[in-house]
Structure 1
Amino acid sequence: MAAEDLEWERSKISNQDMNLLKRLGFTKEKDALRFPREESYPKPPMEYRVSFVDHLIRGLSPPIHEFLRGLLFVYGLQLHQLTPNSILHVSIFITLCECFLGVQPNWALWKRIFCLHRNGSHGVAYNIGGVVICVRSDVDYFDVKFPDSVQGWRKRWLYVHEEGSDSIEYNIAPFDGKAKILRRRSWDAEASEEEKLATEALMTRIRELQSTRGKELSGIQITTYFLRIRMQPLQARKNPLWMYAGDEDVERLSTDLSAKDLEKLIRRISKLSKKDTIPTSCKVAPFCRANPLPEGHLVLSSLPPLPEGGEVEERAVVTDDNQGASRPESGVGDSHKSAASLEKETEAEVSSSTRSSLPAASPKGKRKRDEAIDSGTSKVNTSRAGKAALDAEEETLDLYGAALVSSDDEEEDAPIDETARTSTSQLVRFGTQFIGYRDYARELEEKLAEANKRADALAIELEHSESAHTKTVEDLEKRLGDAKRALEENVAQHSAREEEILSRLETQSRRFVRRTHQEYELENPEDDELLDALSLLEIHGTEARNGLDEAEAGLSRLFPYFFHKKEQPATFIDLAQCFNGKEDLGLQLRQEGLKVGVEGTMALIAESQQQVDWSKVGDTGKIETKKWQSLIKAAKPNSKKILATLGYKPAPAPSSSKPEVK
């Protein structure tokens, strides 16, 4: 039985793992995940691939991101052959590119930072997690603080749904648990000079992000960010992460995690202890909808070569890689050891492998021979024995061959043995090639010098321009700020005044309704509270003016009857006050009329010189109407004399019918 077969066993996913996947949103989509039952060897259904719980919690989610699909193709790997920390490396790289560099995941930049190494121990070549993505020894990259050991991750395998594409070659290769891991040239592929020149600005920005005092960015901050916003970097998305729209983003895997769950998850995938502080935010603001890319920002795009582009030379298998040899079955039992113990075993394996013959030349340069495993370190180191073997071997190489990058024609040639490397023809060929590269380098240096001169001149001109306009810009900014504040104050005052006016108009309308018991509705309202309230008040005012006009006309007609010797007031208020005194004018008018009647009756009695039966005074049926009228008319001028004769003195009171005494 092959060693790789022994690594597979029945999946042991606990209820705690199931609950974690549910909280993280992986079970939101139906059939997105399928869990093994009794099988001890993976048998994924159609359109499913084998993955691990520790892959999912580190940023992996179907459908797979095209950058990861390209990496799997160009490296000749399957998902299960990458370790959890390697998956986290890819997640951090994509988040770094999209959120902090403002570019698509860049293949040229990737080659400048990363390379691949085998993962094994005691002569056993692992199949599950048999390949480790490492940071190159000469690159200063973020300290990710990987855990020294990811315990039992190989036992927590499951199936993830990966929809097929129209092109079969474009899809991830179907699961093959028995396929051997073959080292390829692409594992150590380096960026070409053109790619280095194109990505130098990105490398400079990475160094700035790491070293800017007070704004240092770390691998843990990047990891915490994509876990906190619930976006899976290794999932194919419609928009890049710099278009992240916050809580309403439709591509979020789930809602926000609680602070406790997020802290537990960070400590699980890193080596941070309970004493270490978990960063709640990044010191550098990531690009998103709220913090968009600068205007005119150049978005670079460089993906690994995918199958539809044809076979790539870098996928060629390195045939003399002794690490690909089969291992005895007795050593398979150690495949589940912790990464801390694997590190020592891998160093020994590097020492033995470096004593074998050298592999074929890399298409982009001399392949580095350091080996490492998926541990907490970010750099790749070799043992002293391995370095000694390399030094001894390099002494036999041609001086030119150790410093030059082989051409495309050389990549197609068969591997060259040591004798051929030291032959005269090889020296001539390498020397010719060196001269060509030297001339090309000299030409590039001249162009670069000219470009530097132009850049210096532009910098000086820009400095003068900036110094000339600095004061003007500052003054304009100050004036703009003052105008903005004044405008805000005016708007606030206007709003307060409008609310006060509206309140007063509504109060007046309510008073009018209470006094007149009349309510009005606008036929065509303006849908503006202030204008509508003013329109209602105008209607009420018109109604009140009409009422006042009618009241003034009526009081003017009554005024002569009550105040015959007074002049009518000019204003309505004075006129109304004449009728609002304490005395009852109507009662006085009735009393005067009664007095006239009494006086007339008494005058009639005196004129007729009759004996009057006062009980029958009210009976006027015996006297004709004309007789009464003539008697009253004759008695009226002499009523006072008659009353004086009778000894009656009426109370003095003003009256329009009071007779004159002569």
Structure 2
Amino acid sequence: MAAEDLEWERSKISNQDVNTLKRLGLMKKEDAIRFPSEESYPNPPMEYRVSFVDHLIRGLSAPIHDFLRGLLFVYGIQLHQLTPNSILHISIFITLCECFLGIPPNWALWKRIFCLRRNGSHNATYNIGGVVICVRTDVDYFDVKFPDSVQGWRKRWLYIHEESANSVEHNIVPFDGSAKIQRRRSWDAEASEEEKKATEALMSRIHQLQNTRGKELSGVQITAYFLRIRVQPLQARKNPLWTYSGENNANRLSSDLSAKDLEKLIRRISRLAKKDPIPSSCRVEPYSSANPLPENHPTMASLPPLPEDGEVEEQAIVAEDNQGSSLPESEVAGSHKSAASHEKEVESDASESTQSLPPAVSPRNKRKRNDAEVLALLKPKKLFLLIRRQLMTLILNPSSALMMRKKYQLLTWLLGQARHILSSTLLLDDPMIKELLRIGSQFIGYREYASRTEEKLAEANKRADALAQKLEQSEAARKKAELVASEAKTEADEAKAKAASVEELQKRLEDAESALNEHKAAQASREQGILKRLKSQSRRTHNQTNQDFDLENPVNDPLLDALSYLELHGSEIREGVANANAGLSALFPYFFPKKEEPPTFLTLAKSFNSSEDLGLKMRQENMKIAVESTVALVADSQQTVDWTKVGDTDQIEQSKWRSLIKAAKPNTKKILAYLGIKPASTPSSSRPEV
């Protein structure tokens, strides 16, 4: 058997995987999927093929699409040899062709974009997922954003029911885990010049879909679209996706997924981070019944060549050494044991075991038979002799663990084939055959039990080592925690000691804040009072001077300075004003004998601030009284006076009158007293008025 067979192990499918398949509608039919029981190597029932959970969630479903059938035949590979990302590549390509180019999946266009490479590393080769579909380096294609790693996908294998096609030769190859992957020239097949001309418009359309600003189409959008419409691209369908009609479409496998399930599924099969949004729709409207194809739209049907009349063209095999090293794929997860050191052992064992085995049914062989016909070709007696020889070799001949495991896998496969043959032959009644089958089955059971026990023991030892390491880590962590707790207790005691002073400081701070608030309130009240007074003074000053105080910017304001000076000497000014009011009230009857004294000081002051000389007026009034008194005195003396001559001032010499008045002045008080007139208090130095 081939070294790649070492990759198979017991399938480990979780309940979460089963629920995902149910939500996707892939288990709607009872016989659509079967899960392995205890076998550690695939042994699919009739009409079942080996696949993986990660293949199914990326668009695979049985019966498979004719385009995928053709790819398997042309490239000479089996379904289990494709990686999950390769399956997604095919799903995206078929969706692109049917929904955005409006054509069936085109083989010529496929050859212009993709090629195949061997998947492996420097120390191991893979059979499971040993072939990778790659975009050619010289082609500008969609950025699909594949995940960096698909963890453990090889461990989640199962059986899918591949219904037999009308023509037996169109059925995909039955599972053959022993068949080696061999590189073929078809892996690098390029489109001919005629095919390039025919698909040039399609390549231009793809470039336009990628680079139209604001309407860029991406691989993630295409993936989200076929997951959202619930149609598996790799399933055989009667109607293409450009006729999709919504919820009632016959190709839908289930109802719409919830937004949460859809987002979780897209993030699982892509490299989108949590911060990257999930596309809710495509920026380019896909073709459907709501957006039908334009009239006269070319279909350009082109499928990979399928075998005709039961014949499959032999594809040329290319030596791996001539093609360079294998291409390691990022999605290969987990460690895989290398078989390089046991290459000779494996080859010798394979040659021994395949002498009596039928030729592997694959695209490189001419095929006209289904599974039942192939099994019928095995000669029962020869098969059971081979089983006995292998069983004796396992029991009696000691060998390396690697050889034991390879022989054990071969024996398991042979017994599985024997059971199919016994169901249709009479050899089941042979006692020797019965005993041989019982011993073989019992040995297989013991080997599986021992293998599981060894695995559990190794796992238990590994867990014990991990627990011991964790115990050491926890002990160190405990000591560290105790040290930290001690330091924290010391810091807590110090903080507690400082708490009293902190409380006192806090109280003093609160008292200071209260005093400051009271001071601020008093200052604000004072400022409000000052502002009110300034406004009042401003109104009064404006009424008197037609000039306002500058209340916004009182610096260098002469009126405000005057007001401040006035307020500073307010009491003195008020006393002066009161004295002035009293003095003016006393003088008012002398200056204004016939008038009533004004009620306010301002009006009283204005009375003395007239344009005429009140002092002159008063002296003139006194002079008039004096003249009248003189006339009365002369009349009372009964003397005859020529008043015309007296009144003629032109005839009176001024100097003479001056001397007369001066001579009469000492007797003025006596004369006035005689006449009953109170003498006026005029200064003696006043100039006499004529």
Normalising to structure 1: TM-score of the pair?
A: 0.49
Normalising to structure 2: TM-score of the pair?
A: 0.47
Question: Greater CA radius of gyration, 1 or 2?
Answer: 2
